[in-house]
């Protein structure tokens, strides 16, 4: 079922390419337009049929689109918003896929014309891969896609966008902007920072050889490295733009770490057992909620043969 006549994807990485595949699979738009800064990316997008047309500039790409999706790093949002603003079609909806929302609102909203509806969004889905060839149609199936409607948003435009996202398989929920940034600092931002740190520790620890780290990584280190393989530009921008919430949660993590250090030092097995039992129950709840499976290799992009 067609939800929009023309969708413009600004930025053609994992999320945008997955959206393009899902849109085509479901017949959700009449036409898909793309833009990427890199000529190589634009050529690839055309070669693999990701988009119907691709443009060198974002301004050209958004012309006539009734849905514009900003799939660029948070740090690039303001410049893109300023570029496309004069070229947006009256009545168009603009959304984004940024991992933080307050900074995106501050970067994008001031540039939006009055006859355009800006509805910030964030799909809680991804893999460690990037680029136009990394996407697949089922990326969003049973994953949450949070939108943070702004005061004055047209209810019909919000409902239309929610229907479009749900048609790609996503579970759509609404959340207030600052609440989003706090929640994501707990479930995504700080865990990524910890993963980067653990990989950094292994790199600097001279008592364990590089070969040993690689050879025995499946014992736990492998999963840290998967998270830490995420796009460095995106995560740099996330931490710089969600600074307060991330530092708050990181401080709480440090306090928990000190508590565990003391329990280990004092031989407090009862405390450790109780703590691990509680955290294990949280893990089971995530699986029961359908947001993971018990498979040890979950979270990696499915092999090409399994992608649809």
Q: How far apart are CA 70 and CA 121, in angstroms?
A: 10
CATH class of the 4-175 domain in this structure = alpha beta
Q: What is the mean pLDDT of residues 128-133?
A: 86
Look up residue 48 and give its two tokens: 């693999």
Q: What is the mean pLDDT of residues 89-96?
A: 98
- 101 close to 245: Cβ distance less than 8 angstroms: no
**Percentage of the chain lying above the pLDDT 90 cut:** 61
Chain region(s) in the chain for CATH 3.40.50.720: 4-175
Residue 83: strand, helix, or coil: helix
Least confident of 39-48, 155-164, 283-292: 283-292
Chain region(s) in the chain for CATH 1.10.3660.10: 179-288
pLDDT score for 278: 85
> To 5 degrees, how large is the angle CA 157–CA 81–CA 93?
10
pLDDT score for 121: 98
Reply yes or no on whether the pLDDT at 52 is more than 50.
Answer: yes
**Percentage of the chain lying above the pLDDT 70 cut:** 89
- 34 close to 61: Cβ distance less than 8 angstroms: yes
What sign for the dihedral angle of Cα 36, 41, 42, 45? negative
pLDDT score for 79: 97
Alpha-helical runs (H) found in the chain: 14-26, 39-47, 58-62, 77-84, 102-108, 155-167, 177-184, 190-204, 210-215, 221-228, 232-241, 243-266, 269-288
Right CATH for 179-288 from 3.30.450.20, 1.10.3660.10, 2.60.40.1120, 3.10.20.30: 1.10.3660.10
Q: Which residue has the higher pLDDT, 240 or 284?
A: 240
pLDDT score for 306: 45
Enumerate the β-bridge partners of residue 93: 67, 117
Q: Which residue has the higher pLDDT, 171 or 129?
A: 171
Longest dimension (CA), the chain: 67
Q: Which residue has the higher pLDDT, 81 or 302?
A: 81
pLDDT digits (tens, 9 = 90+) for 212-224: 766 666 667 777 7
Q: Which residue has the higher pLDDT, 167 or 238?
A: 167
Least confident of 97-101, 131-135, 304-308: 304-308
CA nearest neighbour of 112 among 170, 62, 180: 62
Q: How far apart are CA 274 and CA 155, in angstroms?
A: 47
């Amino acid at each position: 079922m067609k939800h929009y006549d023309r969708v413009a994807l600004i930025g053609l990485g994992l999320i945008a390419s997955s959206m393009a595949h899902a849109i085509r699979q479901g017949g959700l738009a009449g036409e898909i337009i793309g833009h990427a800064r890199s000529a190589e990316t634009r050529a690839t997008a055309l070669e693999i049929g990701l988009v119907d047309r691709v443009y060198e500039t974002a301004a050209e790409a958004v012309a006539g689109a009734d849905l514009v999706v900003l799939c660029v790093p948070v740090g690039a949002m303001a410049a893109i918003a300023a570029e496309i603003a004069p070229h947006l079609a009256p009545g168009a909806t603009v959304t984004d896929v940024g991992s933080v929302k307050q900074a995106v609102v501050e970067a994008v909203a001031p540039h939006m014309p009055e006859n355009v509806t800006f509805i910030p969004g964030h799909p809680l889905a991804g893999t460690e891969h990037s680029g136009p060839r990394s996407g697949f149609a089922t990326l969003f199936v049973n994953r949450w896609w949070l939108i943070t409607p702004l005061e004055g948003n047209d209810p019909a435009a919000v409902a239309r966008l929610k229907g479009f996202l749900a048609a790609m398989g996503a579970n759509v929920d609404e959340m207030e902007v600052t609440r989003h940034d706090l929640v994501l600092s707990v479930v995504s931002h700080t865990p990524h920072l910890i993963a980067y740190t653990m990989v950094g520790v292994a790199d600097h620890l001279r008592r364990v050889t590089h070969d040993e780290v690689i050879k025995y990584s499946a014992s736990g280190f492998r999963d840290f490295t998967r998270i830490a393989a995420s796009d460095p530009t995106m995560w740099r921008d996330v931490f710089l733009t969600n600074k307060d919430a991330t530092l708050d949660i990181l401080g709480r993590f440090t306090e928990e770490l000190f508590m565990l250090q003391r329990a280990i030092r004092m031989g407090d097995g009862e405390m450790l057992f109780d703590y691990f039992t509680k955290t294990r129950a949280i893990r089971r709840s995530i699986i029961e909620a359908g947001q993971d499976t018990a498979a040890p290799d979950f979270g990696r992009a499915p092999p090409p043969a399994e992608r649809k």
